[in-house]
Chain A
Amino acid sequence: MKEQVYLYPIWVRLWHLFNALLFLALILTGLSLQYSNKIFTLIPFNYSVSIHNISGLILAAAYLFYLFGNRFTSNGRYYRFETNKLFVRLAKQFRYYSYGIFKNESPPFPVSAERKFNPLQKLCYIIVMYVLMPILIATGLGLFFPDILPNKIMGITGIQFVDLFHISTGFTLSLFMVVHIYLCTIGKTPLSNFKSMINGWH
């Protein structure tokens, strides 16, 4: 049996737990807002609005917490973006997921204390956490304080403009989440990554 490494410090696990739960709440309420109608309601509109607002605000706070954590602990180093042979490395990982895994090859970038994420994972996490989440949170705050939005942006109302970005980003992140959960089943055993995210050891 290989030696285990402590990869997920407690603050990452706590953040991640809250993040995941809030995200699920946001997706459910967000969907019921988007598809609000008189015949069938998943969650009544006014509850959706309140739950979505409160979850969004906590998510934003949690996100700040995550930023601080990555800035002031060593966890941040896993997110350092490296351009060196990026495409070659990405292609390698992609080939593994789409071909090698079926041939029982061993993963090209095994997890270690120096390398928590494979290149594909890393790129995704960087885009998700440092590009999409800020867009989602900023547009969400704009919709929470609609009075601060300009009346018109490029010919459409400010709320519509901001909302368009909010729902597109929300959709992309929901898509990410599904793929993310699935890819997490690719570990030593299908459940081992989830166990790691609970007890911290990989």
Chain B
Amino acid sequence: MKKLFVLSLILLLSAALVPDKITGRSVEHSSENSRCFKCHGKIVYNYFNKVQDQHLTKRMNPYFVIDSVLFYNSNHKSLECFDCHSYDYKTFPHNSELQMELMPTCLDCHEGDEVTANYHFEKINEEFLKSVHYIRHPKEFTCFMCHNPHTYKINVRKNENIDETIIYDNNICLSCHANINKYHLISSNKNPNIIKKHDWLPDQITHFAHVRCIECHTQTTNKTLVAHQILAKDKAVKKCVECHSQNSMLMASLYKFRAKESRNQFGYFNASILNNAYVIGANRNYYLNVMSWVIFGFAVFLIVIHAVLRILIK
């Protein structure tokens, strides 16, 4: 009996000690979730058909397939499906009434939550309420439209690789703006062609790989790391010098986190951008500039002396 007690204690302790990174979740949840993943983790599922008295394999609606790897890498890896979905999903076939269940919002869990206080959810929510998306489609547009409930993983705050962050963030917007199916969840209008609408921007491939959509389409503030107030299209940044200048706005958005570290390193203005991109106008080098004017001035000086002497002596 004592042996059993010690054994279970060790088991308990080791379970508690297993770091989050390895298991990717707290152990107690996994068994509950795996019940759902048994069907929702694959493109086909099995169930016992009582009427026909046999096991059947059916296709899962691809939109209802949830990638368990992405889920256990997401912000919400420690959550149970039941934290957001009704317990009644335990039964299959699911009760059709469940389709109408009310889903929790981010704020339901995060408002006043101390662990995530530094994300300023309330401020983000305020900005979101002022965004074009919400103003035009207050019923359909929720935070979950951009933050996939099962895969969303914070990037810009923790990911060292800015290129990856840019791709991640832009894919959020492109999931609708380059995908008519999801776009139509919100609006039945024609989806404007993003490439054509940005024809005025040269080197689109380079730009979209090195800046995020939200750089130009939001109002940045000091309150949030990721601005959430998407502005109407006529308020979007169109002036090149907003980025291509010494006081580039990129330093207040994409490079906000690094901005303080190394503003002007080796004479380069806005040096924190340089790891990832070289922005004409924003990343000129002070020393090279000074040197070039000195050399140029010296040459002109010699020319003037030479010319004056030629005129005087003639």
Chain B residues with CB under 8 Å of A186's CB are 310
Whole-angstrom distance between the Cβ of B272 and the nearest chain A Cβ: 13
Chain B residues numbered 257-314 whose CB sits less than 8 Å from any CB in chain A: 274-278, 280-281, 283-284, 288-289, 292, 295-296, 299-300, 303, 306-307, 309-310, 313
- Quick check: is A182 within 8 A (CB to CB) of the other chain? yes
In whole angstroms, how far apart are the Cα atoms of A133 and B267 in the complex?
28
Q: Is the CB of B276 within 8 A of A102?
A: no
In whole angstroms, how far apart are the Cα atoms of A131 and B147 in the complex?
54
Say which residue of A37, A178, A182 sits within 8 Å of B281 (CB atoms).
A37
Tell me which of B14-22, B120-128, B200-208 binds A: B200-208
Q: Is the CB of B296 within 8 A of A157?
A: no
- Quick check: is A74 within 8 A (CB to CB) of the other chain? no
- Quick check: is B26 within 8 A (CB to CB) of the other chain? no
Chain A residues with CB under 8 Å of B295's CB are 175
In whole angstroms, how far apart are the Cα atoms of A44 and B203 in the complex?
17
- Quick check: is B224 within 8 A (CB to CB) of the other chain? no
| B-contact bits for A31-47, CB 8 A (1 contact / 0 none) | 00111111001001110
Whole-angstrom distance between the Cβ of A32 and the nearest chain B Cβ: 9
Binding site for A on B (CB under 8 A): 200, 202-203, 205-206, 239-242, 244-247, 274-278, 280-281, 283-284, 288-289, 292, 295-296, 299-300, 303, 306-307, 309-310, 313
In whole angstroms, how far apart are the Cα atoms of A192 and B244 in the complex?
44
In whole angstroms, how far apart are the Cα atoms of A175 and B289 in the complex?
14
Size band of the interface chain A makes with B: 20 to 34
Q: Is the CB of B241 within 8 A of A159?
A: no
Whole-angstrom distance between the Cβ of A184 and the nearest chain B Cβ: 12
Whole-angstrom distance between the Cβ of A176 and the nearest chain B Cβ: 10
Binding site for B on A (CB under 8 A): 33-38, 41, 44-46, 49-50, 53, 97, 101-102, 104, 146-147, 156-157, 159-160, 163, 167-168, 171, 174-175, 178-179, 182, 185-186
Q: Is the CB of B274 within 8 A of A45?
A: no
Q: Is the CB of A37 within 8 A of B299?
A: no
Whole-angstrom distance between the Cβ of A59 and the nearest chain B Cβ: 19
Whole-angstrom distance between the Cβ of A74 and the nearest chain B Cβ: 33
Chain A residues with CB under 8 Å of B284's CB are 34-35
Assuming A35-B281, A159-B277, A160-B278, is B307 touching A182 (CB within 8 A)? Answer: yes
Q: Is the CB of A33 within 8 A of B280?
A: yes
Chain B residues with CB under 8 Å of A178's CB are 296, 299-300, 303
Assuming A35-B284, A146-B203, A147-B205, is B278 touching A45 (CB within 8 A)? Answer: no
Chain B residues with CB under 8 Å of A185's CB are 307
In whole angstroms, how far apart are the Cα atoms of A102 and B310 in the complex?
6
Chain B residues with CB under 8 Å of A157's CB are 274-278
Q: Is the CB of A159 within 8 A of B278?
A: yes
Q: Is the CB of B283 within 8 A of A160?
A: yes
Chain A residues with CB under 8 Å of B245's CB are 36-38
Whole-angstrom distance between the Cβ of B269 and the nearest chain A Cβ: 10
Chain B residues with CB under 8 Å of A36's CB are 240-241, 244-245, 280-281
Whole-angstrom distance between the Cβ of A186 and the nearest chain B Cβ: 8
Whole-angstrom distance between the Cβ of B55 and the nearest chain A Cβ: 52
